[in-house]
Structure 1
Amino acid sequence: MNTLAAEAIGNPALNLAIFASFVVVTLVFVIRASKTNKSAADMYTGGAAFTGRQNGVAISGDYLSAASFLGIAGAIALTGYDGFLYSIGFLVAWLVALLLVAELLRNTGRFTMADVLAFRMRERPVRTAAATSTLVVSFFYLLAQMAGAGGLVALLLNITNRGGQSLVIAAVGALMIAYVLIGGMKGTTYVQIIKAVLLILGAGLMTVWVLASYGMNFSELLGDGAAAGASLDPGAKYGVSGTTKLDFISLALALVLGTAGLPHILMRFYTVPTAKEARKSVVWAIWLIGLFYLFTLTLGYGAAALVGPERIAAAPGAANSAAPLLAFELGGTLLLGVISAVAFATILAVVAGLTITASASFAHDIYASVIHK
């Protein structure tokens, strides 16, 4: 068995080099996109110039966050079936977005969710409330992404003190602000498309690698994962008591209904020219997101079987370290560097989407429509 401390953390330069390569490539796209930004519509919606397929890939890049890649794999590795409930809920939520939100939002809005609400209501109070809601949701969503970034940095670079992690988190935030300021929605969209492709390919590679190590025998993989502690039966986390069962109901409602209200997801429906393209975007997103969440099942049980829940829980970042540890176990330092760079790309793309959403909401809904009107 590989020893993480001796090999992976001993090569932080490789991890940084792979991550820096991604940053350089995406910055090139962002700078090129900035040259076509001529108006507010270009800045906030990319001029509604993206196709349904492009926007669907970008939506999957915006939606598949650090929680999806790092968190769900770790939850499955530690709690088994109950951890997979997150994958199911996150995917089913897109049916609500497809049937109730995408087309109507594209037909009635312009830049933000507040445009829809202000269509038939008093503008100033509605925009103030909607913008406040958007900023609060974006803030707490950002906290989760930055927690993932801190855990990943602690694992890769052996930065265990809070001060060092805080500096890296601040650097990630500054980089995302630069992405948004330079490229606007067009630049952000290209970052999200690149990230979605890398994430799905990376997760797919690890999935095939795990299955190959078991001779493509998925049942044997599940058996070893269950023997290591990742239960195949429901209830390991949410069936212990009456309170945890209520927690499960609350979680299910939040997962299924919450996606349709995420401001950075709603804003993506304005980047296509028609309602038909918005609907097509969701269909593409459902297929890509569904494929990725199928991968998380194999990754989670693979981490339990090949790495072990005890080792995952003891590592920096705890559950968030399951996917990087599995990558190290499969392919050593090189695969760890690649997958960790993909995880960082995941964080960067989602933070970029949240940043432009929050800035658009403040500038368009509060500054332009309330303060200076």
Structure 2
Amino acid sequence: MNVVHMAAAPAGENNPVLNISIFAAFVAVTLFIVIRASRNNKTAADYYAAGRSFTGPQNGFAIAGDYLSAASFLGICGAIAVNGYDGFLYSIGFLVAWLVALLLVAELMRNTGKFTMADVLSFRLKQRPVRMAAAITTLAVCFFYLLAQMAGAGGLVSLLMGIDGRIGQSIVIAVVGVLMIVYVLIGGMKGTTWVQIVKAFLLIGGAIVMTIWVLAINGFNLNTLLESAVEASPQGEAILAPGLQYGANPLDFVSLGLALVLGTAGLPHVLMRFYTVPTAKEARRSVVWAIWLIGGFYLLTLVLGYGAGALVGPEVIQAAPGGVNSAAPLLAQYLGGPLLLGFISAVAFATILAVVAGLTITAAASFAHDIYANVIQKGRKKADGSPVDADPNAEVKVARRTVIVIGILAIVGGIGAQGQNIAFLVALAFAVAASANLPTILYSLFWRRFNTRGAVWSMYGGLASAIILIVLSPVFSGSETSMIPTIDIAIWPLNNPGIVSIPLGFILGWLGTITSRAAESRQLAAEMEVRSLTGFGAEKAVEH
């Protein structure tokens, strides 16, 4: 049995000066990309949808960059290193979720929409109530997702710079938030997309190098790697079997699985990526590229997670700044010393910046386009009685101001979410998306009778139930790892609300529809069905 024993210490000591230099170089390069890309931001379509100028392969890399968040790289590697098999379930859930999004909603949404998810949901229903509900659910999902990314950024940069303690990490999170605001204000969707493309290249490339390195240490024998991980883990062989994390409460795993598998199809920042290509054909090409990139990456996380557990050790990982989220950077330090640590940490930081920029511009677009332009301004009249049309330039200005507000909220929330596993926090965002958005999206696309009351009940009911159950769960209070450990209002036993809130969202959509006598336009329902399936009329919708 050729077992590789865990070394007593990483191959090289942490070098904050070198790490900060690499980190600063990445920030400078990405800022340069954003500034160059921002030169053509002249219209709302440029700011929200990058002028629909990206090709299928480019958008495929950007989708992978958006989807492979800090949870995919830092959170999952840490979850596998500490909890083994149960941690790898995140990878499986995220990958299967992408297939659900592809088969059920991606191309149909692209054919029907313009800038945001609400464009699709309000196509054949009453504009004001549906747009308002869709915008609120979009903002909620983006906020939960931002919590995960900001918490990951705090732990990562703290490790990179040798900063420990809650105050130091809070300062780091604030700096990340300010950088995020600058990126989105300057670059819009085009700048964000190019950062995501570059980040996808670097992230996947770095993960491949580390995977080959870990396998080489273990003689390119996966069995040897697993044996090493078993020997290094206090849990022993339990890390190779299901149940280490979710064995005590199988319902928690079912709830998590539902959230992961169904959540992606309701994530507004992923769906918005399909509006950056010129045609439905390019949207399909981008999906094919994204599937290969995302699927390949999640296979790598198995080796990286168990590799971190075998070579660094679960106890060392949990004691590091950032906790389990430090597994991948610590593995990089073990393999290549401070230089590889600096590179991988900078790539992970670029990952966080790209994802938070995408989330922020999605949330800002939803508020400016859906609430400001289509709810507040819609229906207003001038002194002579003529309608007031929302000025696209004013709409973009509102979006930019919204970016600043969202950035401040993300900083405050990220400080409160420190210490949580970011893969787990993202699972909460998935649960909210699957509860509040997915039922309405599917009903709108596939059920002709679906009406405004069903949409509003589904979105508000799914959102409210998910958030209430999260607040009443051990995630929010009642334990040392809770977001607010000083209070205890945890009466809901599960960490993830999906097992209740997702079915409730579907039930409320159905119940609201069958109890409403309001007749929606059958002509619009038929037009939406034709447009979503064939793309006919989609380009006309984009132009107008």
Of the three residues 235, 252, 258, the one matched with 2:257 is 252
Displacement of 1:3 in angstroms is: 4.2
What is aligned with 1:235?
243
Q: TM-score, normalised by structure 1?
A: 0.96
| 1:277 match | 282
- Per the TM alignment, residue 163 of structure 1 is displaced from its structure 2 partner at its CA by 2.5
Off by >6 Å, runs of 4+ in structure 1: none
2:272 pairs with 1:267:
yes
Q: For the pair shown, which has the larger CA radius of gyration, 1 or 2?
A: 2
Alignment-derived partner of residue 35 in structure 1: 39
The residue correspondences of 1:337-356 to structure 2 (distance < 5 A) are 337-356=342-361
AA of the residue aligned to 1:239: G
RMSD: 1.4
* Identity percentage of aligned residues: 75
Partner of 2:438: none
Say which SS state the counterpart of residue 331 (structure 1) adopts. helix
TM-score scaled to structure 2, two decimals? 0.66
Amino acid at match of 1:279: R
Assess if the C-alpha contact under 8 Å between 1:131 and 1:362 holds in 2. yes
Equivalent pairs counted in the alignment come to 368
> In structure 2, what is the Cα distance between the partners aligned to 1:57 and 1:297?
21
Map 1:178-257; keep pairs closer than 5 Å: 178-229=182-233, 231-240=239-248, 244-257=249-262
Deviation at 1:90, TM superposition (A): 0.4
Q: Is the Cα contact below 8 Å between 2:158 and 2:172 reproduced in 1? A: no
Which AA in structure 1 matches 2:46?
D
Equivalent pair of 1:2/1:328 in contact (CA under 8 Å):
no
Map 1:15-34 onto structure 2 (within 5 A): 15-34=19-38
2:95 pairs with 85, 91, 94, which one?
Answer: 91
Structure 2 residue 13 is matched with structure 1 residue 7: yes
Q: Write the deviation string for residues 271-323 of structure 1: whole angstroms up to 9, x where unpaired.
A: 01112221221221111011111111001111111111111112121111111
Q: 1:161, CA displacement in angstroms? A: 2.9
Paired with 1:163 and 1:217, the residues of 2 have a C-alpha distance of 43
Superposed, which structure 2 residues align to 1:117-136 within 5 Å?
117-136=121-140
Post-superposition shift, 1:6?
8.6
- CA distance in 2: counterparts of 1:332 and 1:101, whole angstroms: 44
- Aligned: 1:333 with 2:330: no
Distance 2:190 2:29 in 1: 15
Retained in 2: the 8 A contact 1:67–1:145? Answer: yes
How far is 1:159 from its partner? 1.8
Between Structure 1 and Structure 2, the one with more helix by share is 1
Deviation per CA, 1:4-61, whole angstroms, max 9, x where unpaired?
69920xx211111111111111112111111111210011001111111111100110
- Checking the alignment, whether the CA contact within 8 Å between 2:10 and 2:312 is kept in structure 1 is no
Q: Tell me the distance in 2 between the aligned counterparts of 1:255 and 1:227.
A: 31
Counterpart amino acid of residue 7 in structure 1: E
Task: Name the SS for the 1:215 alignment partner.
Answer: coil
Q: Measure, in 2, the Cα distance between the counterparts of 1:337 and 1:96.
A: 36
User: Which letter maps to 2:84?
Assistant: G
Q: Are positions 1:286 and 2:291 aligned together?
A: yes
Quote the residue 1:61 is aligned against: 65
Structure 1 residues not aligned, in runs of 5+: none
Alignment match of 1:81 (pick from 72, 79, 85): 85
After superposition, what is the alpha-carbon deviation per residue over 1:55-104, rounded to whole angstroms, capped at 9, x for unaligned? 11001101111111111001101111111000011011111111111111
Distance 1:2 1:347, change over 3 A: farther
